[in-house]
Amino acid sequence: MSTIKPEEDANQNRRITWDGCSVLLDINDGDRLVFSRLTSGSIVKIGNKNYPLQPLIGCPFGSLFQVENGINGPCLSRVISTAEANNTEEKRECGIKDESRDNRALVDNNTAQTLTGEDIEGLRRQGASGNEIVEALIANSATFENKTAFSQEKYRLKKQKKYAPKVLLRRPFARSICDTYFKKYPARIGFLRVDTLSLLLSFANVTAQSDVLVVDMIGGLITGAVAERLGGTGYVCNTYRGDSPYSLEIVRMFNFGDEINRRIVRLPLAQLSASQTEVSKENGQHQPAISFDDPSNQPDASISSIPSSQPVSMEENTVSNTETVVSKVYKAAKPGEKAPEDVIKSWKENGFSSLIIAAPDVDAWSIVKEVLPFLAFSAPFVIYHQYLQPLATCMHNLQVEKMAIGLQITEPWLREYQVLPSRTHPHMQMSASGGYVLSGTKIYNDNQPNK
Amino acid sequence: MLPIDSTKKLSFNRNISDGDLVIVYEKHDAMKAVKVCEKSVLENRFGVFKHSDWIGKPFGCKVSSHKGGFVYLLAPTPELWTLVLSHRTQILYIADISFVVMYLELIPGCVVLESGTGSGSLSTSLARAIAPTGHVYTFDFHEQRAAAAREDFEKTGLSDLVTVGVRDIQGEGFPKDLVGVADAVFLDLPQPWLAIPSAGEMLKPDGVLCSFSPCIEQVQRSSETLTSKFTDIRTFEVLLRTYEVREVKMDQSQSEEGTPGSHRPCKRKHRASDASLWQQDNSGSPVVMARPSSEARGHTGYLTFARLKCVA
């Protein structure tokens, strides 16, 4: 199994991990999220122990793992869910429905637990599993029996997280990648929440075969999410001012095969704007077919500024040094090569099918003014910003200049709920802002530079 | 509607032709879908528009009526379509739709099941996400509604991507020939818990299910049913706030007089009745400001997501 190389883009929808694939490890029900690449040498650190990730290779995404003390040290072993386990859980749930106990007898004097840290260490040395330690803690808790069933459950969960951590193997998709960054490093993605990202993709009508122009200054999250929806067709073109393209580090978290990576290209804005007149002369020769035989043959291919051997930089090495990721040099098409000449020509003749801008540090209006001419007539565009004001100004200018219609600024609001028998309510904490979105449709005007 | 057919792809060089579906845009809340037909006319409060005048014009252009009124002609997108389609049922709007498509992890090639079809508002966006190689199987127990939806998908050019079935999913479950093929399932049913066991059978391991319910009691019951075969059960509510943007001339005479923080705020109070004087003061520079629109949709429905457990 593990020898299968991700060659076809059916990989994008593969449901079993392979050697070298990118995964998202969800430790203890979302408490910690870690991106990793599964290789024979890669590890994840939980608590103070390192666990090799080798056993995760060849497992279906969605598999659950628990920590164990193997012969060769700590290891992750897959939890096989059984029908009985489900039943006990259900029983536990049912018992909760009617509850008369409360916390009137509870005194917080730190004597409830009779097991000491040394006792627990001793249990461990004898080879007790995490779950056995949790049971021992419950048995030795003087107050457990008097707790309400709700807080019994909470207690059990808390101890389980500490002594019997669980690792869930997740697929790195736009959804989980955005969620993870938003939770861990929101500033790196310009505070773009997942519901806002989903709005951007809708407003920009991203679909197979589209040519999407993006100004992605939030680490490549937009680029990756668009490429995911294109599925190896069309193009996502990153345009940038100046000489150096913006970072696409997040694109590497997706499991894109060569076919998708080839559809992620870059083009300096100066070059997009260049030789408009020359193009308009050639407008007669309509060339709808886009050839993409071998984009790696492009002269610029070798000087891409984003070498694939660069370590996956998401990891916490830089932040807290608690997770280590071993990245491996990977022979694959690199995302973010220079756009092929014939494709650029076709864009200049036909225009892009949509535009997405997420550029926290560039004035929205100045960038829109510059890139909107390359958008086909009637094409939708969308601009993200973490602040409202730049979008308000931009919207006003677009209206005044009569460049677009259907202009609208929206701000999504997302609330999660705890749904449990007799205990359903919104989460106590929520994200208060996921950013703002300006959307609209470009209209035809005679002053198009392209015409 | 989708650029799967390259001749329909938006382009500087693509013009409106006979038989095209266009969205006639009067203003942001007044749009209409029209099939262009050379001999046909469109009549609205701006006058009479001849379709023949539209043919050969680029999408996104402004066209005039005999009276000189004008509208814009836009290429259809699932977002515009949602605003113009005929409501046969309550429909899902962009915030819920976008979130569902994202959370169902739909990508080209996916197979997704939906029930009920309703007005086909969500189906259109599902089709956009799974095109060109995936498929949407959508079911409604209402024969007429299913037929109308089928007609719509024909009109929007999605019929190769969407199959509409007439079936009572709550009563009968999804058809057996779809067992184990679905990457995702979407339920918008009055009693979703009745369809959940069948949805579980249709899904691939780790496949995602979403149930949309307006009432919390439905969510409660669905979530209880989900616990046996599903994991990662999460319920969300997603809403949109829209903003009004206006350019306003703000009075800045205070700073011009060079007397910061002096008598001016006080003066304002005294002259409250003289508001017009303030507005006529042209000395201030215009400022663009935004404020939330006064009214908004306060509730659509709860979205409950869950993943089918991986059983080894």
- pLDDT above 60 for A284: no
Expressed in angstroms, the distance from the first to the final Cα of chain A is 54
- The more confident residue out of B198 and A451 is B198
Q: For residue B236, what are the CA distances in angstroms to A20, A225, B214? A: 34, 21, 12
Determine contact, residues B93/B82, Cβ cutoff 8 Å: yes
* Any B CB within 8 A of A423 CB: no
Which helix (H) or strand (E) segment holds residue A167: the answer is strand A166-170
Locate B257 and state its tokens: 């007089």
3-class secondary structure, A258: helix
| 3-state DSSP percent of chain B in helix, strand and coil, to 5 | 30, 30, 40
**A67 in a structural domain:** no
Q: For residue A429, how many other CB atoms are within 10 A of its CB?
A: 7
Do A155 and A178 share a domain, yes or no? no
Compute the nearest-CA separation of B199 from chain A (Å). 18
Does A108 lie in the same domain as A215? no
Q: What is the pLDDT of residue A117?
A: 81
Q: Which of A437, A347, A447 is nearest to A403 (CA)?
A: A447
Q: Give the CATH number, domain containing residue A210.
A: 3.40.50.150
The minimum CA-CA distance between A94 and chain B, rounded to whole Å, is: 10
Could you give the maximum distance between any two Cα atoms of chain A, in Å? 87
In A219-288, which ranges are E strands? 235-240, 264-268
At B283, the pLDDT band (50, 70, 90 cuts) reads low
* Stronger pLDDT, A377 or A79, i.e. the higher one: A377
Instruction: Give residue B132's pLDDT band: very low, low, confident or very high (50, 70, 90).
Output: very high
- Is residue B159 over pLDDT 80? yes
Task: Judge contact between A180 and A209, C-beta under 8 A.
Answer: no
CA gap B209, A380 in Å, rounded: 30
Residues from chain B that touch A171, judged by Cβ atoms under 8 A, are 105, 206
Contact A60 B110 (CB under 8 A): no
Q: Tell me how far CA of residue A134 lies from CA of A73, A160, A161, A282, B173, in angstroms.
A: 21, 6, 10, 75, 41
Residues of B in contact with A80 (CB under 8 A): 311-312
A22-56: burial string, b at 16+ Cβ within 10 Å, e else: bbbbbbbeeebbbbbbbbeebbbebeeeebbbbbb
Higher-scoring residue by pLDDT: B257, B213 = B213
Task: Quote the pLDDT of residue A357.
Answer: 98
How many angstroms separate the CA atoms of A20 and A118, rounded? 41
Pairing of the two strands B203-213 and B182-187: parallel
Which among A209, A377, A417 has CB closest to B12? A377
One domain for residues A154 and A185: no
What pLDDT is attached to residue B192?
A: 97
Q: In terms of DSSP H, where are the helices of A30-173? A: 83-95, 117-125, 130-139, 149-163
**Which residues of chain A have a CB within 8 Å of the CB of B132?**
208-209, 233
Residue A43 lies in a domain: no
Domain with A268 in it: 174-442
Q: Is the pLDDT of residue A347 over 50?
A: yes
HSE at residue A100, side-chain half, CA atoms within 13 A, is: 0
Q: Provide the shortest C-alpha distance from residue B271 to chain A (in Å).
A: 30
pLDDT at A295: 39
Taking CB atoms and an 8 Å limit, are B94 and A171 in contact across chains? no
| A202/B235 CB distance under 8 A | no
B15 touches chain A (CB under 8 A): no
CA distance B291 to chain A (A): 10
Nearest residue to A174 (alpha-carbon basis) of B125, B95, B98, B232:
B98
State whether residue A229 sits within 8 Å of chain B by CB: yes
Mean pLDDT of all residues in A279-308? 38
Q: Are residues A183 and A153 part of one domain?
A: no
A315 inside domain: yes
Same domain, A373 and A312: yes
Nearest Cα to A255, choosing from A5, A448, A2? A5
| b (16+ CB within 10 A) / e for A274-291 | eeeeebbeeeeeeeeebe
B12 touches chain A (CB under 8 A): yes
Q: Distance between CA atoms of A255 and A224, rounded to whole angstroms?
A: 10
Residue A348: which H helix or E strand, with range? helix A341-350
A406/B25 touch (CB, cutoff 8 Å), yes or no: yes
B window 285-304, beta carbon within 8 A of A: 288-290, 292, 302, 304
Q: What total number of domains does chain A contain?
A: 2
Q: Does residue A176 register a pLDDT over 80? A: yes
Residue A293 has pLDDT above 60, yes or no: no
Angstrom distance (rounded) from CA A4 to CA A7:
8
Residue A242 lies in a domain: yes
pLDDT tens digit string along A153-163?
Answer: 888 888 888 88
Cα A32 to chain centroid distance, Å, stands at 14
Average pLDDT in the B140-157 region?
A: 95
Q: Do B4 and A210 touch (CB under 8 A)?
A: no
**pLDDT surpasses 80 at A168:** yes
In this prediction, residue B267 carries a pLDDT of: 46
Rg from Cα positions in chain B? 26
Measured between alpha carbons, how far apart are the two ends of chain B, in Å? Answer: 42
- How far apart (Å, rounded) are the C-alpha atoms in residues A350 and A283? 9
Of B186-190, B220-224, B253-257, the least confident: B253-257
Give how far the C-alpha of residue A375 lies from the chain's centroid of Cα atoms, to the nearest Å: 27
**Interface with chain B: mutation pick from A8, A178, A200, A202, highest number of B CBs within 10 Å:** A202
Which residues from chain A sit within 8 angstroms of residue B133, using beta carbons? 231
Cβ atoms of A289 and A340 within 8 Å: the answer is no
Q: Answer whether B233 touches A (CB < 8 Å).
A: yes
Q: What is the mean pLDDT of residues B194-212?
A: 97
B3:A10 CB<8 A: no
Give the H/E segment covering residue B172.
helix B169-172
A435: nearest Cα among A192, A181, A199: A192
Report phi then psi at B252, rounded to 5: -125, 20
Which member of A63, A378, A405 has the closest CB to residue B310?
Answer: A63
Percent of chain B with pLDDT over 90: 77
A398 at B interface, C-beta within 8 A? no
- Count of beta carbons in the 10 Å neighbourhood of residue A338: 19
Q: Which of A111, A127, A159 is the last residue of a domain?
A: A159
CB contact under 8 A, A377 and B77: no
Report the run of H or E that residue B196 belongs to, with start and end: helix B192-202
Mean pLDDT of chain A: 81
Residue B234 has pLDDT above 90, yes or no: yes
pLDDT in tens, B36-68: 999 999 999 999 999 999 999 999 999 999 888
Chain B hits for A208, CB-CB cut-off 8 Å, are 2-4, 108, 131-132
Contact A42/B at CB under 8 A: no
Look at residues B186, B178, B193, B132 and name the one whose alpha carbon lies nearest to residue B158: B132
- Under the banding of pLDDT at 50, 70 and 90, the label for residue A131 is confident
The predicted-structure confidence for A217-275, as pLDDT tens digits, reads as follows: 999 999 999 999 999 999 999 999 998 999 999 999 999 999 999 999 999 999 988 86
Query: A183 and A149 share a domain?
Result: no
> For residues A17 and A36, what is the distance between their CA atoms, to the nearest angstrom?
12
The string of DSSP letters for A420-446 reads -TT--EE-S---S---EEEEEEE---T
pLDDT reading at A279 higher than 60: no
Same domain for A125 and A273, yes or no, is no
A141 and A107 within one domain: yes
On whether residue A22 sits in a domain, the answer given is no
Answer yes or no: do A62 and B131 touch at CB < 8 A: no
Query: A153 and chain B: CB distance < 8 Å anywhere?
Result: no
pLDDT at A85: 52
**Torsion angle of C-alpha atoms B106, B107, B111, B117, degrees rounded to 10:** 50
**Chains A and B: how many Cβ contacts under 8 Å?**
244
What is the dihedral sign for C-alpha B47, B53, B54, B57? negative
In a domain, A5, yes or no: no
- Put simply, whether B237 touches A (Cβ < 8 Å) is yes
Same-domain pairing of A186 and A147? no
CB of A345 less than 8 A from some CB of B: no
Model confidence pLDDT, tens digit, residues B65-115: 988 899 999 999 999 999 999 888 888 999 999 999 999 999 999 999 999
What count of other Cβ atoms lies within 10 Å of the Cβ of residue B297? 11
Q: Show the tokens assigned to B305.
A: 């997501």
Nearest to B75 by CA among B159, B157, B161: B157
Residues in chain B: 312
Nearest to B10 among A286, A376, A405 (CB): A376
- Cα B128 to Cα B158: distance, rounded to the nearest angstrom: 9
Does the residue A390 lie in any domain?
A: yes
- Residue A305 φ/ψ, nearest 5 degrees: -85, 5
- Residue from B222, B146, B220 nearest B186 by CA: B222
Residue A296 has pLDDT above 90, yes or no: no
At residue A52 the predicted structure's pLDDT band, cuts being 50, 70 and 90, is very high
Q: Are residues A114 and A197 in the same domain?
A: no
Q: Are A314 and A327 in contact (CB under 8 A)?
A: no
Q: What is the ipTM of this complex?
A: 0.90
DSSP structure class, residue B24 = E
Q: Is residue A228 part of a domain?
A: yes
Q: What is the mean pLDDT of residues B134-146?
A: 96
- Beta-carbon neighbour count of residue A446 at 10 Å? 6
CB-nearest partner of B13 from A12, A203, A350: A350
Last residue of a domain, one of A120, A135, A159: A159
B288: number of Cβ within 10 Å: 17
- A-chain CB neighbours of B102 within 8 Å are 174-175, 194-195, 197-198, 201
In chain B, what are the domains? 6-76 (3.10.330.20), 80-239+299-308 (3.40.50.150)
Rounded to an integer, what distance in angstroms lies between the CA atom of residue B14 and that of residue B35? 17
The alpha carbon of residue B203 is apart from the nearest alpha carbon of chain A, in Å, by 12
Whether chain B has a CB inside 8 Å of the CB on A349: the answer is yes
Cβ within 8 Å, pair A201-B4: no
Contact A353 B12 (CB under 8 A): no
For the annotated binding site of B for S-adenosyl-L-methionine, the residues are: 119-122, 140, 168, 188
Looking at the fold, whether A205 and A115 belong to one and the same domain comes out as: no
Q: Does A210 touch chain B (CB under 8 A)?
A: yes
- Measured between beta carbons, the chain A residues lying within 8 angstroms of B307 are 62
- The answer on A129 and A262 residing in a single domain is no
Mean per-residue pLDDT for A374-386?
Answer: 96
Q: What is the pLDDT of residue A35?
A: 95
Can you tell me the distance from the alpha carbon of A235 to that of B165, in angstroms, rounded to the nearest whole number?
A: 34
Query: B164 CB near a chain A CB, below 8 Å?
Result: no
Q: Are B108 and B131 in contact (CB under 8 A)?
A: yes
Of the residues A207, A279, A438, the best mutation for testing chain B's interface (the one with the most B CB atoms within 10 Å of its CB) is A207
pLDDT tens, position by position, B19-41: 999 999 998 889 999 999 999 99
Whole-number Å distance between alpha carbons of A183 and A32: 9
